[in-house]
A = this chain, B = another copy of it.
Amino acid sequence: MSDQLDRYPTRLSEPVPHIERTDPTVWAATPDPLTGGPLSGTVTSPELAGFETNGFATIPDLLTPDEVAAFGAEVGHLAADPVLYGDERVVVEPVAGQVRSVFQVHQLSKPIAELIGESRIMGLAEQILGSPVYLHQTRVNYMPGFGGSGFGWHSDFETWHAEDGMPAPRAVSLSIALTDNYPFNGSLMLMPGSHRTFVPCLGETPSGHYRESLREQRIGIPTPDDITFLAARYGITQFTGQAGSALLFDSNMMHGSSNNITPYPRSNIFMVFNSVDNALVEPFAAPQRRPEHIAARDFTPLRTDADAVLADQAR
C-alpha cells in the first residue's frame, strides 16, 4: 500500500467524520506561487458553468445524430466481436451471457480513440483539471431493458483512491449517452455539490475485490445514514437527455441509479480523464493494484500541448 500522506482515509474499521474537500474542483494551470499548492481556476466554456458548484455539467448535443448512429454501430460490433469474448476486458452477465461492459475501448476501437482525442472531448477535462490529462479508464456500458439492476450510491474517487492509488480528486468522468436517458430507465442520479464532501467508508478491501465490485459493490459504499445526510444537504437530481448528450462529472460525485424495468436500454461510452499531475501511486487501502484495463498506469498525456487550454484559463 502507499506510504504517501493520505488526506482521504477510507476502508476503515471505525467510523470517522466526513472530510470536507480542500482540493479545488476546477484547477488552475499553475500552482499558488507563494505556497506551491493548488489554486482554483475558472471555466471559460459556458457549457461548463456550474461545474464548480454542482460538480457536474451536462452537454446536451455533444454528438450529432449521425455520430450517435455511427458509434452505436461501433459499440454493437465490440459487444459482438467473437475475438473479444472471453477477454478479461469484457464483462458478461453471469446467467444470460450478455455483454454488460467492455473496458479499455480506446485501445480496441480506433473511432472511439479518435473521438476521445478530439479537443471538444478531452478539452472539457483539460479545462476542469488545468493540466494535460491521460485516460485512467475507458469503457462502453450496455444496459439492457428489463432488469438492468442499477447500482448503489458511491463516489468513484473513493475506489480509485483506495484501490488504484489516485492521490487526489483531480479526475473527471465523461459519459456520452448513445441511447435516450429517461427519468425512468435507470438514468444516473447525482447529488449536486456532494463532490465537496468525501465520505470515508467502512470495511477492509478484500483481495481481488474488483471482480465482485464491478457487478455489485459491497465495500467502499456509504451507509444509509451517510446518504440521508448528503441527500438532505445536497438534494438529488438526475441526468436525462437524448442520445448524444453527455455528462461530465467530478471524480468524487456521489451518484447511483435505480433499476430499469422499462424496455428501453441504455448504452454509453464512459471515459475517465486524470490529471498528469495526479498520476497513480500504490493503492491507499487495498492489498494490490487493480489490473491496467481498469486503472491505467500509462500516464502519457493525450496531448502535451495543452497550452491552448491553459492559456484560455489564464485569460
Contacts and interface: CB of A to CB of B under 8 A. Distances in A.
A264 B231 contact: yes
B258 A146 contact: no
A228 B261 contact: no
29 contacts: A145-B224, A145-B228, A146-B227, A150-B258, A150-B259, A150-B261, A152-B261, A153-B261, A182-B236, A183-B184, A183-B238, A184-B189, A184-B236, A186-B258, A189-B261, A224-B263, A227-B262, A227-B263, A231-B262, A231-B263, A232-B263, A236-B262, A236-B264, A256-B261, A257-B261, A258-B258, A258-B259, A258-B260, A258-B261
Interface string A41-58: 000000000000000000
Contacts of A262: 189, 227, 231, 236
B259 A184 contact: no
Interface in A72-111: none
Q: Name the residue among A153, A182, A183 with the largest chain B CB count within 10 angstroms.
A: A183
Nearest to A259: B259
Within the oligomer, what is the number of copies of this chain? 2
Interface residues of A, number: 26
Contacts of A227: 146, 262-263
Contacts of A228: 145, 263
Nearest to A238: B184
A163 B81 CA distance: 48
8 residue pairs, one from A and one from B, having the closest CB atoms: A183-B183, A228-B263, A258-B258, A231-B263, A259-B259, A146-B224, A184-B189, A258-B259
A263 B145 CA distance: 25
Interface string A250-273: 000000111111111000000000
Interface in A180-211: 182-184, 186, 189
A192 to B, nearest CB: 13
Interface string A132-165: 0000000000000110001011000000000000
A183 B240 CA distance: 11
A259 B261 CA distance: 9
